[in-house]
Amino acid sequence: AQSVTQLGSHVSVSEGALVLLRCNYSSSVPPYLFWYVQYPNQGLQLLLKYTTGATLVKGINGFEAEFKKSETSFHLTKPSAHMSDAAEYFCAVSIFSGGYQKVTFGTGTKLQVIP
Amino acid sequence: DGGITQSPKYLFRKEGQNVTLSCEQNLNHDAMYWYRQDPGQGLRLIYYSQIVNDFQKGDIAEGYSVSREKKESFPLTVTSAQKNPTAFYLCASSIRRGASNQPQHFGDGTRLSIL
């Protein structure tokens, strides 16, 4: 079984400030980890993914995330927030289970950027 | 450009009516998925399909049905048995069945409401 916990359903930051969105997971097998972004009334877009190799992963739009196995965390960061970063962000865990790709999504964090 | 097309963008259902949501992809992906999104609940898996003429129930399949007659198409029917159908429905695909290290690609969703 696997689960994803995103701490904070809403996060507010000032424009230019650090963005930190938290994600913790649990999984019975080594998982693959993803962050997606969703703008209003749109689908999810992939920001970045961790599969194997380097634990610090860089994604689009200046975002990055670090996989910490000992902490079972995959927090998303961006050094300087931009107004266009206002959206909802989803962390997801993917494993191979029962012959198919099983993806579990967190409940999402809405990021508000204050000018 | 390749992608996933969902239609219609908005749909209204009357009591006792079945409605069908369309999902078409031109990415040549093997696997396709339907998710339901409710505020604060993340994404929940309704049905998935890894090959033509085969599909499996997800976590919340009751009141829904699907077909996969063509690789490109995976329509979802919301039946009258689904008593709370108001939600945002997302279709997704991934390149290869069982490849849990691959991200899912999403359409822009259909918002279903009750009249």
Per-residue pLDDT tens digits for A12-53:
999 999 999 999 999 888 889 999 999 998 999 999 999 888
User: Which amino acid, B89?
Assistant: Y
For chain B, give the percent of residues with pLDDT over 90.
Answer: 79
Average pLDDT over residues B62-67: 97
For chain B, what is the mean pLDDT?
93
Q: Do residue A41 and residue B98 have CB atoms under 8 angstroms apart?
A: no
d(CA B63, CA A44) in angstroms, rounded, equals 24
Residues of A whose CB is below 8 A from B56: 100
d(CA B29, CA B74) in angstroms, rounded, equals 12
Chain A closest-CA separation from residue B112 CA (Å): 12
Q: Do residue B108 and residue A42 have CB atoms under 8 angstroms apart?
A: yes
Q: Which of A4, A45, A95 sits opposite B100 (nearest CB)?
A: A95
Q: Is the pLDDT of residue A91 over 90?
A: yes
Q: Quickly state the pLDDT bin for B100 (edges 50, 70, 90).
A: confident
Q: How far apart are the first and last CA of chain A?
A: 41
For chain A, what is the mean pLDDT?
94
